[in-house]
Amino acid sequence: MSTEPLAVARSRAAKMLDVSPATLRAWSAADPQRGPRGIKLGDDRRARVIYPVAEIHAWLSDPAGYERRRNTP
């Protein structure tokens, strides 16, 4: 049985991706979005964002392929 969480906070996701939390925030704000997809918890500017661990692993295994799949309508 795995003890890995289903989702992690931005700071932990950034560590897993070996980027800064600011980079991860910038990727989310880019148009089109880049990097693993986050989930916003709340509706204001201070809303917390979490990242599904499966999304992080998918991006790490093939960043270019992940971006193509994500940005295809």
Quick: pLDDT tens for 17-57.
Answer: 999 999 999 998 888 888 999 999 998 888 899 999 999 99
Query: Could you tell me if residue 65 is inside a domain?
Result: yes
pLDDT at 60: 92
Alpha helix (H) ranges present in 1-73?
10-17, 21-29, 53-61, 63-70
Query: Could you tell me if residue 1 is inside a domain?
Result: no
User: How many structural domains are present in the chain?
Assistant: 1
Which one has a higher pLDDT value, 70 or 57?
Answer: 57
Alpha carbons 26 and 19: distance in angstroms, whole number: 11
Domain ranges, residue 18: 7-70
Q: What average pLDDT does the segment 48-72 reach?
A: 87
Provide the 8-state DSSP code for 51. Answer: E
Provide the β-strand partners of residue 14.
none
CATH of residue 49: 1.10.1660
pLDDT at 16: 95
Categorize the per-residue pLDDT at 66 as very low, low, confident or very high, splitting at 50, 70 and 90. Answer: confident
